[in-house]
Amino acid sequence: MKVHPLPNPPPQAGEGDVAWIATCAGPLRGDLFVPGDKSVSHRAIMFAAIAEGSTRIDGFLEGEDTRATAAIFRQLGVRIDAPSDGVRIVHGVGLHGLQPPDGPLDCGNAGTAMRLLAGLLAGQRFDSVLVGDESLSKRPMRRVIEPLAAMGAVIESLEGRAPLRIRGGQALQGIDYTLPVASAQVKSALLLAGLYAQGETHVREPHPTRDYSERMLAALGAPCAFVPGEAAILGGFPLQARDVSVPADFSSAAFFIVAASIVPGSELLLRRVGMNPRRTGLLHVLRAMGADIAEEHPGEQGGEPVADLRVRFAPLRGIEVPVEHVPDMIDEFPALFVAAACADGATVVRGAAELRVKESDRIATMAAGLGALGIVVDEAPDGATIRGGALHGGSVESHGDHRIAMAFAVAAQRASGAVRIGDVANVATSFPGFDTLACGVGMGLAAA
Ligand code: S3P
């Protein structure tokens, strides 16, 4: 079956203060493409903007987060054309060609934008101010401010939170820094600052995280060396523009992977999904729980591994999630909690304290929402124990967190009654059109 636009597609999240009513509508069937990868789309704009020459980006995620990044670079004097949906042509200005902005740079909800830009802007000759929405303004920024300050950056914050006031004209020095917490955003911020620093910047991670910045920097000709868990860059070398083809976002595919796994009789085919091993921890965990997920037509897109994923319903059983998989599935825990709620027995998550400082406190928001639907979740400071059971209808809040909203739309497909999900507008930050795609494969989802 192919997905065609519905005659009356449900209103898109992002249009005002939207809520959803989600209901179980039977088996899910279909063949679908999810939108482009958010992490790659942010980085493609950033690196293209400071490269020499023009870059065509295909498969660009038309989400609010990635559009915020593009808007910021326009404010910094970069011409970015958008000839069609999912395509951007970025006219790079070189490492030193960005212009002072005319006002604060608004990252919206995007932690990736704010943290990576903090590193990039620390190396400019002009001052800048990074602001964000209410959720982003609560998220911890000391993790980037402190190592950047050690490189010579001057960044003022509100007790470690946005707005970030970045003083330009500083001479940055390379550092050798071991991240206290595994974070691709912090690593990338330091590598971006490292482009402008004297000497070498060396970043070590307690556990390897997604390596898109390193791969792109190396592909654009920067002296950047990396192995899992470690990356180094030598400052002062220009980047040469190179076109980017963005694979489909594994984190968006994750909602459909879990949906097909938990709804009896389902079979979904997800096309050309990005399979970077630093992103696919959920596959290992779901398979250990008994999920039926086949990888077909493995290939490569824009230097990244991709595959079609065929997912069929299978009964799941609870497991202890191996801690080593946590960083490789850090954005997939809302979806995993739903799979765990539908599994036989308990699923134990530990070593995931980072979930408490995402777009919402994802341990607390998932525990509260699943609790409202009849599932017992025991919270721990760094995780939770989810006891599989029968989901009933009810009302849950997403707390403005895109992944929480989508996770509950999926959970509702196994609930005995309707689930009202409040505050879903932020789904548009990472997955515009989720509701239309979800309805197209048979999920029950409508605007409240
Ligand atoms: C991202 C890194 C992760 C992830 C976020 C995107 C990136 O954050 O949760 O959605 O693009 O580098 P942390 O670096 O905070 O783990």
Are the CB atoms for 377 and 387 separated by under 8 Å?
A: yes
Confidence bin at 60 (pLDDT 50/70/90): very high
Distance 184 CA to ligand 1 centre (A): 6
- Kindly give the number of the ligand 1 atom that is closest to the alpha carbon of 330: 9
Beta bridge partners of 58: 87, 245
Distance in angstroms (rounded) separating the CA atoms of residues 105 and 202: 28
pLDDT digits (tens, 9 = 90+) for 26-45: 999 999 999 999 999 999 99
Q: Quick one: which atom of ligand 1 is closest to the CA of 143?
A: 15
Say how many CA atoms lie within 13 Å of 273 toward its Cβ. 28
Residue nearest to atom 16 of ligand 1 (CA): 183
What pLDDT is stored for residue 302 in this prediction?
84
DSSP 3-state assignment of 53? coil
Q: Give the orientation angle of helix 142-150 with respect to helix 184-195, to 10 degrees.
A: 30
| Distance from residue 108's CA to the centre of ligand 1 (Å) | 15
Which amino acid residue places its CA nearest to atom 10 of ligand 1?
Answer: 331
* Ligand 1 nearest-atom number relative to CA 213: 12
Residue 10 has pLDDT above 80, yes or no: no
Distance 185 CA to ligand 1 centre (A): 5
- Per-residue pLDDT of 354-386, as tens digits, reads 999 999 999 999 999 999 999 999 999 999 999
Which of 139, 188, 330 maximizes ligand 1 atoms within 8 Å of its Cβ, making it the mutation to test the pocket? Answer: 330
Average pLDDT score over residue span 231-242: 98
